[in-house]
Amino acid sequence: MTTELSSSADGSSTGEHSTSRKSTLAAEVARRRTFAVISHPDAGKSTLTEALALHARMISEAGAVHGKSGRKSTVSDWMEMEKARGISVSSTALQFNYQDHVVNLVDTPGHSDFSEDTYRVLTAVDAAVMLIDAGKGLEPQTLKLFQVCRHRGIPVITVINKWDRPGRSPLELLDEIEERIGLIPTPLYWPVGIAGDFRGLLKRDDNSFIRFTRTAGGATMAPEEFLDAEAAEAREGEAWTVAVEESELLHETGADHDQEMYLAGQTSPVIFSSAMLNFGVHQILDALLELAPAPHARDAISGTPREVLDPFSAVVFKVQAGMDTAHRDRLAFMRIVSGTFERGMVVTHAQTGKPFATKYALTVFGRDRTTVEDAYPGDIVGLVNANALAPGHTLFSEKKVEFPPIPSFAPEHFAILRARSAGKYKQFRRAIDQLDSEGVVQVLRNDIRGDASPVLAAVGPMQFEVITARMQGEFNVETTLDNLGYSVARATDAESTDELNRQRGVEVFTRTDGAILALFSDKWRLQYIEKEFPKLTLEPLVAASD
């Protein structure tokens, strides 16, 4: 990152000075790309992340980013539970330079139980890479995450991975994408060699051939050889002619890249890869640089969008505690929306109107933390011990702004949490408040049950495991969980509460954000009450797949 801005911050505010600041800011915005990889577990997201970082030469050998079982050092698997299950619950943001650009890759939790968290992460990105396993095609979690991207207007580049393994035909995979999600696939490259015999990629815009060579275990960058069509045919024979024919077929059906349609979410450029062998990875990075949008204005509650060149503003999209057991700190991750961030600047927390000092600002790469001196729109910055900040909150300087809150999802799992020992009650309460404000789970209360054993509401049951593990590990409180027999929630209001509470199989609670929720034993109970009491307010909540 440049230090031009901090060194020029001499207090003068001449027109010339501010013009030069603006042009530096504009240049920094233009060279940034902030994206997330969305995929079903096991499609190869961790492997691809490593490969992307390797290509950007950030790490010398693949294996230092995520490291699940059998891989090298683990950096993002910070919880025992993650290690045991081989899943990544925590999100980390990776920043690397690539060809004069700054790329921010925001990690999304792969498991559907954490879709609320994933949704928050997706509010922080401008583009997404949809990673598909060539052998499996579209899988449930990919579909769900894709819907979130569509809902938020995030353009998607599709990567069909594991082409080194036997799998389906490329045309069949494209058909599936088009039929099931209505997104027109427009391949930028076409595989030469069937799935399982991946020789290289035909670059469709100039009909040239990028030939790959395997390296041991894909641990280093795969050498690429660039050949023209004639040389490619001489080298690969039928595999090349088949690729050319299929590419022409695509052209005839109009499946060529169209930048406007891609940005409008109607088409998706497609690349074939083997993240494991580092094939096609460089092409993914190039596509991100060339096609994915740079950071742009964001809608505010007021209706006036915050432009990227406006004074500093940022949105908090994730709060995470306990990442570093040695420090027990709490990090709030913000995505910078506008202006220049300089460490130490005092900004305003829109939700409270209070000043917020940003002395401890970090980038977090797995367990490595580096102090951030300055950052620009698109960048992800972690603020240490930012206890007042919660997902959806806004920070700004000078010109006031507040971004819309991030919606909570409809919970489908409910349980009562209790401290095993009454002597731990104080820690228990403190822990609940903290986990609630981080958005790990929703916390519901009502007068009948009292405050000693709050009801936890989750989108997926694994959220409960995170709660009990963290209660024990971070707060030293042993807890028990008793499932409550509810499975459907609706938003209601104070006027409807008494009538609802009189019904069997229904209970009304208030969530920490003030929302009043009615829980029903099952959907039939809900349907019956809707029919019997049509005047009651019962609104559906945002579902995980909306």
User: Where in 67-106 is the site for ligand G4P (CB under 6 A)?
Assistant: 68-71
Binding to ligand G4P, residues 253-292 (CB under 6 A):
274-276
Nearer to ligand G4P among residue 273 and residue 397 (C-beta): 273
Q: Please state the closest distance from residue 54 (CB atom) to ligand G4P, in A.
A: 13
CA 12, 14, 16, 22 dihedral sign is positive
Please work out the total of residues on this chain that contact ligand G4P, with binding judged by CB under 6 A: 20
Q: Does 46 bind ligand G4P (CB under 6 A)?
A: yes
| Residue 158 binds ligand G4P (CB under 6 A) | no
Instruction: Return the number of the residue (334 or 466) whose C-beta is nearest ligand G4P.
Output: 466
Nearest 10 degrees: Cα torsion 137, 88, 513, 346 = -120
Residue 196 or 423: which CB sits closer to ligand G4P?
A: 196
141's tokens: 């979690």
318 near ligand G4P, rule: CB under 6 A? no
- Contact between 514 and 408 (Cβ < 8 Å): no
Nearest to ligand G4P of 214, 367 (CB atom): 214
Interacting residue with ligand G4P among 24, 41, 143, 207 (CB under 6 A) = 41
Q: Of 159-167, 171-179, 304-312, 468-476, which segment contacts ligand G4P by CB under 6 A?
A: 159-167
Q: Does 391 bind ligand G4P (CB under 6 A)?
A: no
- Counting beta carbons within 10 angstroms of the beta carbon of residue 450, is it exposed (0 to 12), middle (13 to 18) or buried (19 or more)? exposed
* Residue whose beta carbon is closest to ligand G4P: 44
Q: Does 42 bind ligand G4P (CB under 6 A)?
A: yes
The token pair at 350 is: 């829109």
Whether the Cβ atoms of residue 74 and residue 80 lie closer than 8 Å to each other: no
For residue 485, give the nearest of 525, 529, 533 by alpha carbon.
525
Which one of residues 111, 120, 162, 330 is an interface residue with ligand G4P (CB under 6 A)? 162
Please identify, using beta-carbon distances, which residue of 192 and 361 lies nearer to ligand G4P: 192
Among 35, 44, 282, 401, binds ligand G4P (CB under 6 A): 44
Residue with Cβ nearer ligand G4P (192 or 276): 276
* Residue 508 exposure: Cα atoms within 13 Å on the Cβ side: 20
45 binds ligand G4P (CB under 6 A): yes
Could you tell me the strand order of the sheet in which 127-133 lies?
93-98, 101-106, 32-39, 127-133, 156-161, 267-272, 184-187
Q: Which of 334, 347, 321 is nearest to 400 (CA)?
A: 347
Minimum CB separation of residue 162 from ligand G4P in Å reads 4
The span from the CA of 297 to the CA of 400, in Å, is 15
295 binds ligand G4P (CB under 6 A): no
Q: How far is the CB of 198 from ligand G4P (least distance, A)?
A: 9
- In angstroms, the Cα distances linking 384 to 345, 364, 365, 373, 528 are 14, 11, 14, 14, 49
CA distances from 172 to 136, 169, 177, 246, 540 (A): 11, 5, 9, 12, 37
Among 95, 141, 161, 267, binds ligand G4P (CB under 6 A): 161
Residue 105-124 contact track with ligand G4P, rule CB under 6 A, x = bound: -----x--------------
What is the per-residue burial (b if ≥16 Cβ within 10 Å, else e) of 416-426?
bbbbeeeebee
- For ligand G4P, which is the closer residue by CB, 167 or 392? 167
Place of tokens 């609104």: 539
Smallest distance from the beta carbon of 272 to ligand G4P, in angstroms? 10
We find the least distance from the C-beta atom of residue 107 to ligand G4P, in angstroms, to be: 9
Q: Which 163-182 residues touch ligand G4P, going by CB under 6 A?
A: 164-165
Q: Kindly provide the b/e burial profile for residues 152-180, where b requires at least 16 CB atoms within 10 angstroms of the residue's own CB.
A: eebbbbbbbbbbbeebbebeebbeebeee
Dihedral angle over CA of 422, 428, 430, 434, nearest 10: -170
Residues 506, 513: contact at Cβ < 8 Å?
no
CB of 449 to ligand G4P, least distance (A): 39
List contacts with ligand G4P (CB under 6 A).
39, 41-47, 68-71, 110, 161-162, 164-165, 274-276
